[in-house]
Amino acid sequence: MNLRNLVLITSMLLLLLPGCSTKSTEVEQTSEGQKTSKAPQPASADILAEIDRLEKESKLDKLRDSAIICSINDTPLTMGEYRRQMNAQMQQFQNTITVHPQSRVEVLRQAQIRNVTLSPAEKKQMLDRANKLKNAGSKAFNNMLKENKLTSKDFDKEVLEIGLACKTAKLMIQDSLMAQLTNRQLLCSAAKANGFSKQAINKFNEEKQTPQFQQIVRSSGLAPEVVEQEMIKNSLCSMMIDKLQNDATVSNDEVKAFYDKNKSLLKHGARIRLSQILVQAPSQDKATVDSLTTQMRKSHPKMSEQEVEKAVDSIFTKQRQKAESLLTRARSNGVDFAELANQNTEDAPARTAKNGGDLGFQEEAKLPKEFLDKINPLKVGEVSPILVQSPMGFHIIKLTAREPAGIVPFDEAKDRITGFLREGKSKEAVQKWLDNERRNAKVTMSPDLQALIASIGEENKKKNIHTP
């Protein structure tokens, strides 16, 4: 089965499965206005665990979106926010297994570990829906089965497998969702205390003017004001995380200590240092640049294929001639290669950096043989007489240094080590801050949740069911 059709099958199945949906039927609480006894509040961790338990048992379905489930440092967390985050993460999971169907293998492995299965009622409901699709006699659907040599039985198996993956994914999300929402609330509150509110609102006002905003509103199915709240809250979280990460510093002593301790990891083979002047003539589409053919098609959409090919050949020839001219100048006596590169290279980052086209050291063993064969005859300080052609265009190469195998010098490794250590300390700083804030957070159960738990207790008493 090819990937395109596997994606098609998965997409169709997700439309069938109620087990993939996290939308709940809202039931209005009748506890509004009722007096609830002031029972002692359990510990914060116990409250979060109780909310997780109630959600896994589908008890929270009885709460309306506006109901408050708990307060975190006196800031209310509503059922609506819980459902929105659950839906967003389930949607992300569905998108992942649609684009990468094989990714559900890991989720199904988790199902085995957790002993998660589909109940007979769930299986029946899913297969009934699948049968409706099969019995509808959709031509595209039947052709897809025939094309991929799938039987009706195969399709049923896929239905149940994806249903189990969705059920397991929801349980996995539930395991950490309350902790994530607590973290989110703590970060937002801290961001406001640090004066980021105006910046977050200004950022939203800019994003609101873009076409993407209306697309987000349409795809989310939420009211514009709810999307606004979510986007501002997300910005506040990001700003606070950035602050915590930026506050994490790495000293020179830490960098030197890491270097001294890990020299065995910093060994290199024989290597050469190169500089280049790039004249672009891209023959392949890359993430950062289109090929000459694609560029021509975009700028002249009415051109025929023959006209596009002719125009591309003309540009390619001109770029080659430009490269040959620069090569002649680069090999002339007294010419400063670095200055020539700064003025003429079409490698945008190098031109901005004004680094003379320096490519740094390259290990010989990691370079393509055909490229190395053109460089090896050169002496240090010599410019290759041969234009090197690649999918990016034409390269004028200068050999600036040779080194035998050894250990990367500290000055060369310093920036990489600093970045590595800063990344680790940044993550550690955020996690340490969150751990501390969660430890000291005051989480209180809302009257809505207390009333729900009390009503569940009464129902269970009538049924003689013991609840923890």
Enter the tokens of residue 79: 């059922």
The pLDDT of residue 12 is 46
The pLDDT of residue 338 is 95
Nearby residues of 51 by Cβ (< 8 Å), 6 or more positions away: 60, 69, 70, 178, 449
State the CATH class of domain 270-404: alpha beta
The pLDDT of residue 465 is 55
Distances (CA, A) of 457 to 56, 453, 460, 465: 17, 6, 5, 9
Please say whether the beta carbons of 103 and 110 come within 8 A.
no
Instruction: State pLDDT tens for residues 141-197.
Output: 677 777 777 777 887 888 888 889 888 998 898 888 888 899 999 999 999 999 999
Binning the chain into helix, strand and coil, the percentages to the nearest 5 are 65, 10, 25
Buried b or exposed e, range 268-282, using 16+ CB within 10 angstroms: beebbbbbbbbbbbb
Pairing between strand 68-72 and 75-78? antiparallel
pLDDT class of 116 with cuts at 50, 70, 90: very high
> pTM (2 decimals)?
0.67
The pLDDT of residue 151 is 78
Pairing between strand 271-280 and 75-78? unpaired
Whole-angstrom distance, CA of residue 74 vs CA of residue 52: 20
State what percent of residues in the chain have pLDDT above 90.
47
Instruction: State pLDDT tens for residues 71-80.
Output: 899 899 998 8
User: Which of 461, 457, 448 lies closest to 79 in space, CA to CA?
Assistant: 448
User: Scanning the structure block, which residue is given the tokens 């009934």?
Assistant: 128
Q: Is the pLDDT at 354 greater than 70, yes or no?
A: yes
pLDDT class of 11 with cuts at 50, 70, 90: very low
Q: H helices within 262-405, ranges in order?
A: 292-299, 305-330, 337-344, 348-353, 369-375
Enter the tokens of residue 80: 């609506």
pLDDT class of 28 with cuts at 50, 70, 90: very low
Enter the tokens of residue 379: 């002496």
The whole-angstrom distance between residue 413's C-alpha and the CA centroid of its chain comes to 29
Enter the tokens of residue 382: 């010599």
Domain boundaries, the chain: 3-28+38-190+437-462, 194-246, 270-404
